[in-house]
Amino acid sequence: MTEPASSAPALAARRAGQGDSAASGPRPAPGPAERAGAVIPGAGPAAGPGERATVRLRADAPEEPLRYAPEWLRLRESADAAARAVDALSALRARLASAPPHGGLVVHDLGCGTGSMGRWLAPRLDGPQHWILHDRDPYLLHFAAAGAARTAADGSGVTVETRRGDLARLTPDALSGASLVTASALLDVLTRADVAALAAACAGARCPALLTLSVAGRVDLAPADPLDAEITEAFNAHQRRNGLLGPDAAAVAAEEFAAHGVVVEVHPSPWRLGPDERELTAQWLRGRVAAAVEQRPGLGPRADRWLAERLAACAAGELHAVVHHDDLLALPPIEDAGDAV
């Protein structure tokens, strides 16, 4: 996917997903050491020694620096914004307008990273809003709060607060009073148990959820190459390591929400990368190969050749990529929604 999945606690925000190695032009194909050190597998550039993904998903994960390079998040923000499904947003607006909450919307943004979801969504919703930004990384929470949207679609005010904590501890009580739960590039770096807990928390709080940009496991590259399918297969296997959902995320989430009587809509939200996104595409390619080779080391020499050729085509403006994602909208039944929606 566009997000890393090298360990159970990894959340790339995604960021793949989620740097100091940001050159977009052609360069020699990386060897194994460079692949391991220059990128976060499956995502983009690493920020440096000791840095890692943003949200710890397990309470027993060891304490260590929790910083994800904002550069990767900056690179992908415009592609994310262009990809998110307008149909899901229309349905969400209709639901929120059907029973507007007293005092305005309260939105929980899970794994917020630098806050791109809020910057995209808050100006597209009417009425006063209060955003609660959740992440394990205080560094990214600072960026998210500082760069948050301040005005809703109708000119109403938007306020924010930050909460550092574990998604694994999310409960219906934590979402008490919530109007909406959002997340971006999150589901695919969770396990089924994590998603089940998230669905139960949202259903228990009778709160809609808009969960965007889950990797779908499909990539279309033009021009095509005979190795494309093998790289994709190895990458998808890497995404599923340690029990993570990877490309199965949207389907599993739909099942878990439906088990609580929640109506689920799944909408395609592909990245469409061309000459105007060369820097992002180059970093995405490097991360994709790093993950594929980590999963299947025997791919190494052929993958290095593939990457070098792809980077050259990217730098020349000749490479186009469609990276498929899914957006999931979960709506509790109207009769059960109460004052929460």
Q: CA torsion 125→126→128→134, rounded to 10°?
A: -10
Q: Tens of pLDDT along 218-244?
A: 999 999 999 999 999 999 999 999 999
Q: Based on DSSP, count helices (H) and strands (E) in the chain, helices before strands.
A: 11, 9
Per the prediction, the chain carries an average pLDDT of 82
The CA distance from 249 to 11, in Å, is 13
pLDDT-derived band at 90 (thresholds 50, 70, 90) equals: very high
| Confidence check: pLDDT of 103 > 90 | no
pLDDT-derived band at 168 (thresholds 50, 70, 90) equals: low
Range of weakest confidence among 22-31, 92-101, 120-129, 178-187: 22-31
| Sequential DSSP letters for 240-268 | TGGGB-GGGHHHHHHHHHHTTT-EEEEEE
Task: Decide: 67 and 140 in contact? Cβ < 8 Å.
Answer: yes
Supply the pLDDT for residue 68.
Answer: 57
Q: Tens of pLDDT along 243-293?
A: 999 999 999 999 999 999 999 999 999 999 999 999 999 999 999 999 999
CB atoms within 10 A of CB 202: 27
Among 105, 173, 119, 188, residue whose Cα is nearest residue 150: 119
| Confidence check: pLDDT of 3 > 50 | no
The model carries a pTM of: 0.81
Stretch 295-322: mean pLDDT: 98
Supply the pLDDT for residue 73.
Answer: 84
The encoded tokens of residue 279 equal 């820097």
Q: Which residues contact 144 (CB under 8 A, 6 or more apart)?
A: 109, 112, 113, 114, 115, 118, 133, 135, 160, 162
pLDDT-derived band at 86 (thresholds 50, 70, 90) equals: very high
Stretch 326-330: mean pLDDT: 98
